[in-house]
Amino acid sequence: MHTYIALLTFTDQGSKELKQTTRRAEEFRKMVEKRGIKILQTFWLNGPFDGIHIFEAENEDEAMAHSMSLSSFGNAKTQTYRAYSRQEIEPILDSIPKPYDLIHGE
């Protein structure tokens, strides 16, 4: 499973029904868990984003379908990003060539 972070911005519809946001989040969590998506945490925020939704999906296609599904209800727009743990990022960092190697073709 891979971890993803979705930044949420309420739409006009979502803002009008703001008092229902926690209920909608719980209903959505139950719905997507049936499809194999695990929602790790949802937070409501102050600032330029209204919420953050941290979830796990098997692959990019499932993550994309999940985010599109969330947006399709019309209460929030999403920006979803793949998140890497320390264990996941270290091999990627190790594979980055040194600038000297790039310049000299090594």
Write out pLDDT tens, residues 5-60: 999 999 999 899 988 999 999 999 998 898 889 999 999 999 999 999 999 999 99
Cβ(89)–Cβ(11) under 8 Å?
A: no
Structure token digits, residue 103: 């310049």
Backbone angles phi, psi at 35, to 5 degrees: -95, 5
pTM: 0.84
Host domain of residue 86: 2-103
The domain spanning residue 14 has which CATH number? 3.30.70.920
Amino acid symbol at 68: M
pLDDT digits (tens, 9 = 90+) for 39-52: 999 999 999 999 99
Report d(CA 63, CA 37) in Å as an integer.
8
User: What's the total number of domains in the chain?
Assistant: 1
